Structure 1
Amino acid sequence: MLEDYIARYGVAAVFVGAGIEGETAAFLGGVLAHRHLLPYWQVAVAASVGSFAADQFYFFAGRFASQWSLVQRLIRSPFLERATQLLEAYPTGFILAFRFIYGVRTVSPVAIGLSKVSARKFVILNAVAAVVWGVGITAIGYLFGNVVEAMLGRLLLHTHLIIALAGIAAVLTVSVFAIRRRLFSRRPGPGGNE
């Protein structure tokens, strides 16, 4: 029954997840492809297109809808300044690489949208980077499936999902605490000094 749901909705879930969350969805899609529950090429395409679509959305939001509260929140992010510095120093390289740089993944398309980079240039470079990212991360998930089987033997699907969800929960928990600590440590003290 679980396998039927994955076969029916898995590719769409990878598409949405790659756009919203990113690596975890693409990676798990690769693991599911390794288990032969989804075709690898569909998972790789879904991850690539989901990532591309989300970044295009944020780029155009930065360019044409900077008054939106979501965009304003990203503009106030402490990571925007770093993304802008990298963009100014290495415009083409940064557009190709931002999705691989921890901490600037979400704010980067907004920063690029706010810059003078043309929409045409961003679309082309974003497409190239999304394909490399989508194929690469799903391939790592696919290969990780082999490692898991070599280490643990062929587990039942629900056991793999429980292990994967526990790992994701642990990584997300540590990430949230680290980001919150970093953000709160940068706030000015009562006298306005850091």
Structure 2
Amino acid sequence: MTIEALIAQYGLAAVFLGAGIEGETMVLAGGLFAHEGLLSLPGTMIAAATGSFVADQAFFAAGRRFREHRWVKRAQGKPAFAKALQTLERHPIGFIFAFRFLYGLRTVSPIAIGTSHVPTRTFLCINAASAAVWATLFTGLGYVFGTGVAELLGRYRPHGRQWLWVALAAIVLGAVFGAVRWWRSRDA
């Protein structure tokens, strides 16, 4: 079954699960479906953010709870795990915020962070903000660029309240980046 068929059949539930399991492709497709009017744009953003957040919290909790379990030990043997921990030690807040944007580190990173000394509350807060930004960005990309270059070059005219959601997404993105910068400057 294709991604499009999954979203067409299961709607926002497919976006929720796909954001946690598969990632960007499902969320981009959700944005395209929102552009076509088959899904709600804010609903798609919320489903994507929630799915990504829940999956990463589960991986973090698994890393925290099962540090000594063989499957965590197996993950620790992978080069991506070591790279994630090295980066986490140098830039903990930035890495927690950015790992979902880094190809190849998305699944192993929350497990690695769970085995570290990062407080659960810190991970939860930064993970929530990052999931919101990630979902807004990739859903927005699917929404804006999903139907091709012709719309990109000027024929795209959002109707009704769609501009409101795109503007709200940009405001949320700016606020989150501002909060992260403030938080990082406070720790320095």
| CA distance 1:35–1:7, shift in 2 (3 Å) | same
Counterpart for residue 53 of structure 1: 54
TM-score by length of 2: 0.73
Counterpart for residue 87 of structure 2: 86
Shift of 1:143: 1.1
Q: Please show how residues 16-95 of structure 1 align to structure 2 within 5 Å.
A: 16-95=17-96
Q: Deviations along 1:117-159, whole A, 9 cap, x unmatched?
A: 00000000000000000111000011122426649xxxxxxxx
For 2:5 and 2:111, how far apart are their aligned partners in 1? 38
Shift of 1:4: 11
Could you say what secondary structure the match of 2:57 adopts? helix
| CA distance 1:8–1:110, shift in 2 (3 Å) | same
- Please say if 1:116 is aligned against 2:117: yes
Contact 1:29 1:141 in 2 (8 A): yes
* One-letter amino acid of the structure 1 residue matched with residue 53 of structure 2: F
- Please say if 1:127 is aligned against 2:128: yes
For 1:4 and 1:71, how far apart are their aligned partners in 2? 34
For 1:22 and 1:99, how far apart are their aligned partners in 2? 9
29-38 vs 69-78, which deviates more?
69-78
Extract unaligned runs of 5+ from structure 1: 152-194
For 1:64 and 1:5, how far apart are their aligned partners in 2? 33
Counterpart for residue 100 of structure 1: 101
Contact 1:6 1:37 in 2 (8 A): no
Shift of 1:78: 1.5
Question: How many residue pairs align between the two structures?
Answer: 149
TM-score by length of 1: 0.71
Shift of 1:65: 1.6
Contact 2:31 2:140 in 1 (8 A): yes
Extract unaligned runs of 5+ from structure 2: 153-188
Contact 2:20 2:51 in 1 (8 A): yes
119-128 vs 103-112, which deviates more?
103-112
- Please say if 1:138 is aligned against 2:122: no
For 2:12 and 2:85, how far apart are their aligned partners in 1? 33
| CA distance 1:21–1:72, shift in 2 (3 Å) | farther
Larger radius of gyration: 1
For 1:18 and 1:71, how far apart are their aligned partners in 2? 22
Q: Deviations along 1:30-79, whole A, 9 cap, x unmatched?
A: 01111110001111000000000000000000000234554344222220
Instruction: Please provide the CA RMSD for this pair.
Output: 2.1
Contact 2:145 2:151 in 1 (8 A): no
Counterpart for residue 181 of structure 1: none
* One-letter amino acid of the structure 2 residue matched with residue 108 of structure 1: S
Counterpart for residue 14 of structure 1: 15
* One-letter amino acid of the structure 2 residue matched with residue 117 of structure 1: V
